[in-house]
């Protein structure tokens, strides 16, 4: 465990930028597909999603979920920026999405400690890239042998999600792989190793979000799993553009 917190990320190994058409990322090793695209095309539940897309209301439901996620992410980012700058935190209102903000806000107020970076793009020579939500410090933990004080000093990778319904373990497996991929990318680009991860899911009911925690070894294992999936993806499903 590091006793000294990072304040910012060190210099990056190369620059990665998202393409304007959002079809992928441009990196020092070529054009790369995104972490989420690779996950979607290699997911074990892909057939279920394809069936769901055949529903008459699928497009409308998907668009609403994207709008909800985008709005909620923006409010979280704005709150963290205000907290970092020591200015009054915003308290936005939204008729349709406000409940998700009210659900996740207590986590921020009670457990947010310090920001290192947010919405930052990373890549890996395994040929994937993506933008992680937040890297910083939080006092929240479910680990019985880890105090909140010690948790506050662990460099934590955080992914924000929204969900109308509770998510079972099998439904968040791809989210864990996503976190693992970002951790691998952060280590490659910045030489910094996240020590754990939190998946924080805002929901429209209740006064606290659903939270899943990955320990350092678990996060590393999911990073290895994602590398395998990325290799399989490029071997069997698409061509690489150097």
- Number of Cβ within 10 Å of residue 60's Cβ equals 10
Distance CA 156, CA 183 (A): 10
Structure-model confidence comparison of residues 63 and 150, the more confident one: 150
Q: 83-92, 198-207, 229-238: lowest mean pLDDT where?
A: 229-238
Q: In 3-state terms, what secondary structure has residue 61?
A: helix
- Residue 162, beta-bridge partner list: 202
Q: Which whole number is the average pLDDT over 227-237?
A: 88
As a whole-number percent, the residues of the chain with pLDDT over 90 amount to 74
Question: How confident is the model at residue 242, as a pLDDT?
Answer: 43
In which band, very low, low, confident or very high, does the pLDDT at 2 lie, cut at 50, 70 and 90? low
3-state secondary structure of 122: strand
């Amino acid at each position: 465990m590091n006793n000294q917190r990072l304040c910012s990320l060190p210099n990056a190994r190369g620059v990665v930028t998202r393409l304007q058409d959002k079809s992928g990322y441009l990196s020092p090793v070529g054009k790369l597909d995104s972490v989420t695209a690779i996950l979607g095309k290699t997911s074990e539940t892909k057939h279920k999603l394809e069936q769901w897309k055949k529903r008459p209301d699928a497009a409308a439901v998907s668009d609403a979920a994207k709008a909800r996620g985008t709005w909620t992410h923006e409010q979280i980012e704005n709150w963290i920026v205000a907290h970092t700058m020591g200015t009054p935190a915003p308290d936005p209102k939204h008729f349709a999405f406000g409940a998700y903000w009210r659900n996740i806000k207590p986590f921020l107020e009670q457990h947010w400690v310090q920001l290192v970076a947010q919405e930052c793009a990373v890549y890996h020579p395994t040929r994937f890239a993506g933008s992680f939500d937040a890297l910083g410090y939080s006092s929240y933990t479910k680990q019985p042998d880890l105090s909140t004080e010690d948790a506050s000093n662990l460099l934590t990778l955080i992914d924000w999600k929204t969900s109308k319904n509770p998510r079972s373990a099998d439904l968040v497996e791809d989210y864990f792989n996503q976190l693992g991929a970002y951790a691998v990318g952060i280590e490659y680009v910045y030489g910094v190793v996240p020590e754990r991860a939190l998946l924080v899911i805002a929901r429209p009911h209740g006064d606290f979000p659903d939270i899943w925690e990955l320990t350092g070894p678990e996060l590393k294992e999911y990073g290895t799993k994602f590398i395998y999936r990325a290799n399989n993806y490029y071997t069997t499903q698409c061509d690489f553009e150097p």
